[in-house]
Amino acid sequence: MSKQITLSTLLSPWVDLSSSRYGDLAISHLELDSRKVTQGVTFVAVKGHAVDGRHYISSAVESGANAVIAQADEERPHAFIETIHGVPVVYINGLNHELSALAGQLYPLDKMQLIGVTGTNGKTTITQLIAQWLELVEQRAAVLGTTGNGFLDALKPAANTTGSAIEIQHTLSELESVGANYTAMEISSHGLVQGRVKTLPFKVGVFTNLSRDHLDYHGTMEEYERAKLSLFTQHHCETAVINVDDAVGQKWAAQLDNAMSVSLKPLNTERAVFATNVVYSEQGISLTFSGLYGEGSLSVPLIGEFNASNVLVAFTTILSLGFDKQSLIETAHLLTPVLGRMELFKAQGKAKVVVDYAHTPDALEKALLALRVHCKGKLWAIFGCGGDRDAGKRPMMAEIGERLADQVILTDDNPRSESPQRIVNDMLEGMSQPEKAVVEHDRFKALQHAVSQGSEDDIILLAGKGHEDYQVLATETIHYSDRESAQQLLEATL
């Protein structure tokens, strides 16, 4: 939990308040959102990407802020202190870049070991596999990421994959106070660029892969790659576990002195863990491995080639933390699939439905290739594309669906403020035979169509939303869950 420190101690790396009459003021909670300020909370006012928090200083004071730490400018320079209704406002240069360090002053970590996972796809699965496995070898392990923050049996919803620097540090401190000695964090490219994990000490940094995503934010793939690489080059990261089956990962592993390479193919690198044989079945994945930690074999109840990679990356990460190989091998069969990540739903006599979060071209391609290995009948693909996001990937995803599935149903993802018809039209542009695609904007009806038409040997991939239980439409966010749709339709008598 947060400890109470003085304003002077909190700000000592930046300004000397030891002789100020406000130096002994007790600080116990930092807040970036003025709307969440209550009596005794300290408001941190920075110039953000969309909002300038300094415009809300008076509002925070009215709500009971005991002090304000604000970003300096020409008018109010570094170390300048003003008072508003008796409340001190201390100005700090470049405060927007110092939030991680500031939060670390109030919410310090003692013994918790951090694992940071970055990449386009696989972050949620890998962080949760790491936490599950650590729990299976009698550690207390938490996660921070897309599906929530906390211990796996009690996740609290998260607004973003990577929260603000202050939220992250506060959450980690609270988790440590209730016994977490390891936390596996998903780290987004946005979070890295915006310095949200800038001063966190990562015991291990993990790279999964890089493919097209978030170009609406980064502009180019080069900038996107640079953002991801910064976890290993501009942050404290003792060991880098890198998936070298990805071309970008292969390049990085050659550049990074602390890299541990992971591959589903044999490697002749010394610092590596690699698969020597992988077998896929409806029961899961069995693989034999070799490398720095010796040889062995693992069996896990997950499906798909990329899950074989995810498991091997998680395994290598935990080995690099110093855990016993044999205890990990013996508990591997107890690992469980992650919510909404290649999650299988089935009922006697009906097509199998696999719900997956795949919402990028690369993820959709990997999901369909993975399921083709398991599919005896027709492979169906139901997916859409988000509105107000990178439109360039729409025809790419439709082309992948047409090429790798036997039947494609185009539906809505989160259309947001865009016309659903326009999004679908963009997708149809990528298909050589668009007339063969079924268009059904209602996701539930799209799955209903596939389940009613499919046979028990068929597999239906319902992609794009995974664990999410909402859909963002033009004027509202409604409750909707692919997982609930799959359960409901497979239980129904058709």
* 121 annotated among ligand-binding-site residues: yes
* 128 annotated among ligand-binding-site residues: no
DSSP H helices, 211-360, are 215-218, 221-233, 247-255, 305-320, 325-331
DSSP H helices, 384-461, are 393-404, 420-428, 443-453
* 64 annotated among ligand-binding-site residues: no
* 83 annotated among ligand-binding-site residues: no
* 475 annotated among ligand-binding-site residues: no
Q: Which residue has the tokens 């209903």?
A: 448
Helix H or strand E segment including 131: helix 123-136
* 336 annotated among ligand-binding-site residues: no
Task: Give 365's contacts (C-beta < 8 A, 6+ positions apart).
Answer: 400, 404
* 53 annotated among ligand-binding-site residues: no
* 208 annotated among ligand-binding-site residues: no
* 243 annotated among ligand-binding-site residues: no
Task: Please say whether the beta carbons of 351 and 337 come within 8 A.
Answer: no
* 411 annotated among ligand-binding-site residues: no
* 108 annotated among ligand-binding-site residues: no
Bridge partner list, 26: 6
Task: Give 488's contacts (C-beta < 8 A, 6+ positions apart).
Answer: none
Question: Cα torsion at 66, 69, 70, 73 (round to 10°)?
Answer: 120
State the Cα–Cα distance between residues 300 and 331, nearest whole angstrom. 9
* 188 annotated among ligand-binding-site residues: yes
* 194 annotated among ligand-binding-site residues: yes
* 302 annotated among ligand-binding-site residues: no
* 21 annotated among ligand-binding-site residues: no
Burial class (CB in 10 A: 0-12, 13-18, 19+), 39: exposed
State the Cα–Cα distance between residues 38 and 31, nearest whole angstrom. 9
* 119 annotated among ligand-binding-site residues: yes
* 231 annotated among ligand-binding-site residues: no
* 20 annotated among ligand-binding-site residues: no
State the Cα–Cα distance between residues 150 and 95, nearest whole angstrom. 28
Q: Which residue has the tokens 């439409």?
A: 473
Q: Would you list which residues are annotated within the binding site?
A: 32, 34, 119-125, 160-162, 188, 194, 196, 389, 413-416, 464, 468
Q: Would you list which residues are annotated within the binding site for ATP?
A: 119-125
Q: Would you list which residues are annotated within the binding site for meso-2,6-diaminopimelate?
A: 389, 413-416, 464, 468
